[in-house]
Structure 1
Amino acid sequence: MDSIDETLGEIPLPPYITAEDVTFALRAISVHAAQQWPDGSRCRNDRAPHPCRLHRWGRRILTMRGLTDQRINTMLADQEAARP
């Protein structure tokens, strides 16, 4: 865990997951994707060790919504394909 993660901890989850939360979670996962660096995998957005806080938050939201890793990956691929 990065020192900022140790200081701030995990991002709190909402009491219930809405459709808007799912949209935000998908965006967080796609923006905070892994990128390879000489010292290992880092977030391409904030350069924190991957998975960063926002990526983990997005995965937790989608998992709480009942989505499997395969379904999450499919949704991310669909989102990428829909971008102009």
Structure 2
Amino acid sequence: MDRIDEVLGEVPLPPYVTAEDVDFAVRAIAVHAPEQGPDGLRCRNDQAAHPCRLHRWGQRVLAERGLSEAQVRASVTHHEASAVRP
């Protein structure tokens, strides 16, 4: 766990998970994906140890909504495939 995680703790879950929260969670997981660094897996977006705070938040939101791991993977894959590329 990175020092920032120790200081800030976990990102709180919303009081109830809406469809908009699910969209944000899928995006968080896609954007904060793992990437191999010289010292292990790091977050591709913020270079924190993977899984970073936002990746964990996304996973918790989707688990709260009742999505299985397969459904999460499918949602992230769909998000990445439909993302606009420059």
Smaller-chain TM-score range? Answer: over 0.9
Task: Determine the structure 1 residue equivalent to 2:10.
Answer: 10
Q: Which runs of 4+ in 1 moved over 4 A?
A: none
Identity of aligned residues (%): 62
**2:57 is equivalent to residue 57 of structure 1:** yes
**Structure 1 residues not aligned, in runs of 5+:** none
SS in 2 for 1:35: strand
Distance 1:44 1:81 in 2: 18
Deviation of the 1:83 alpha carbon: 2.4
Deviations 1:9-62 (A, max 9, x none): 000111100000000000100000000001000001000000000000000000
Q: How does 1:1-84 map to 2 (within 5 A)?
A: 1-84=1-84
Task: Please give the alpha-carbon distance, in whole angstroms, between the structure 2 residues aligned to 1:83 and 1:54.
Answer: 19
CA distance in 2, matches of 1:78, 1:59: 16
Matched residue of 1:66: which SS? coil
The one-letter code of the counterpart of 2:71 is: R
TM-score, normalization by structure 1? 0.97
Q: Secondary structure at the match of 1:76?
A: helix
The aligned length equals 84
In structure 2, give the amino acid aligned to 1:2.
D
Residue 79 (structure 1) shift? 1.4
Distance 1:79 1:31 in 2: 10
